[in-house]
Amino acid sequence: MIDESGANKMSKDRLMRMRKPLFWGILLLSMVVAALFIGSNWIAGNRPRRLRPAEISEYKGQNLSLIDDFRENSIKGPQHIDIENYTLAIAGFVNNSKTYTYDDVVNKHQHFEKVVTLHCVEGWDVTILWEGILLKDLLDEAGVDERAKVAIFYAYDGYSTSLPLDFIVNNEILMVYKMNGLVLPPERGFPFQLVAESKLGYKWAKWITNIELSDDVNYRGYWESRGFPNDADVPP
């Protein structure tokens, strides 16, 4: 006969034998999962960056970010504008309200190129070759009233932001229609994006449809009215 202590010992031995395969199985599974995780990160880190056909990745010896390096963070997702029916309006404190078609803006004004870095409040940045027109040239055509202090930019998706007129003029701020040699894709603001150099990304309005000249220096746009600083200066 097997006494009670012997039975307990046999039960413990049997339990240990059952646990060993389970232990080694869990260990093996953990190693496989770890290998897959490390491998996927290595692949992601070494995956070639996608260069769009004819996209410029270097300009005068300076490496550029790519269009697809941007992160999508617009308030309603990419907007798709029917360019045949598109107009850009300039109104407010101007001598003559103006309305432009896309071709009016692109084909009847001097073009400028400039490499500028966009800094996002989320902590990422991209350096792009932008091509467009001086915003000042459009405003001069409308005639800036002496009461005007700020330009308010309204976008197709309901977004808005503003910049002081002095900042626009003194910093030769561009409104652009190309990036890295390509026409702006819809997700990047086609037909026009503001390049608010030295300002954080929420000042870089996309899909611009209206520009209003105003005396309201306290105007707050979409993010500014939600607590973001109105000056939006890029930290040094």
CATH number of the domain that residue 210 is part of: 3.90.420.10
pLDDT tens for each residue of 117-168: 999 999 999 999 999 999 999 999 999 999 999 999 999 999 999 999 999 9
**pLDDT band, very low/low/confident/very high, at 3 (cuts 50, 70, 90):** low
Indicate if 127 and 76 belong to the same structural domain. yes
The least confident of 40-49, 126-135, 149-158, 203-212 is 40-49
Q: How many Å is the Cα radius of gyration of the chain?
A: 29
Host domain of residue 214 = 58-226
| Nearest CA-CA partner of 210 in 164, 171, 167, 159 | 159
Count of domains for the chain: 2
Let me know if residue 122 belongs to a domain: yes
Indicate if 32 and 62 belong to the same structural domain. no
- Distance CA(196)–CA(204), nearest Å, equals 5
pLDDT tens for each residue of 79-121: 999 999 999 999 999 999 999 999 999 999 999 999 999 999 9
Residue appearing with tokens 């308030």: 75
Indicate if 100 and 208 belong to the same structural domain. yes
Q: What pTM did the predictor assign?
A: 0.79
CB 167 within 8 A of CB 116: no
Average pLDDT over residues 177-206: 98
Let me know if residue 29 belongs to a domain: yes
Backbone angles phi, psi at 45, to 5 degrees: -70, -20
- Distance CA(137)–CA(109), nearest Å, equals 8
Backbone angles phi, psi at 20, to 5 degrees: -60, -50
Q: What is the pLDDT of residue 122?
A: 97
Indicate if 110 and 8 belong to the same structural domain. no
Of 28, 47, 66, the position where a domain reaches its end is 47
DSSP-based helix, strand, coil % in the chain, nearest 5: 30, 30, 40
Indicate if 105 and 202 belong to the same structural domain. yes
**pLDDT band, very low/low/confident/very high, at 70 (cuts 50, 70, 90):** very high
Q: Is the pLDDT of residue 62 over 70?
A: yes
Let me know if residue 235 belongs to a domain: no
Q: What is the pLDDT of residue 51?
A: 79
Average pLDDT over residues 172-188: 98
CA 148 to chain centroid: 29
Let me know if residue 232 belongs to a domain: no
Q: Is the pLDDT of residue 5 over 60?
A: no
- Rounded (10°) CA dihedral 157, 172, 56, 126: -60
- Rounded (10°) CA dihedral 57, 63, 67, 71: 160
Indicate if 94 and 147 belong to the same structural domain. yes
**pLDDT band, very low/low/confident/very high, at 7 (cuts 50, 70, 90):** very low
Backbone angles phi, psi at 41, to 5 degrees: -65, -40
Q: Which residues pair with 127 in a beta bridge?
A: 117
Q: Is the pLDDT of residue 36 over 80?
A: no
For 63: left if phi > 0, alpha if psi spans -120 to 50, otherwise beta; the answer is beta
Let me know if residue 233 belongs to a domain: no
Let me know if residue 157 belongs to a domain: yes
Let me know if residue 71 belongs to a domain: yes
Indicate if 114 and 192 belong to the same structural domain. yes
Q: What is the pLDDT of residue 90?
A: 98
The tally of CA atoms less than 13 A away on the side-chain side of residue 235 is 7
The answer to whether the Cα torsion of 138, 144, 150, 155 is positive or negative is: negative
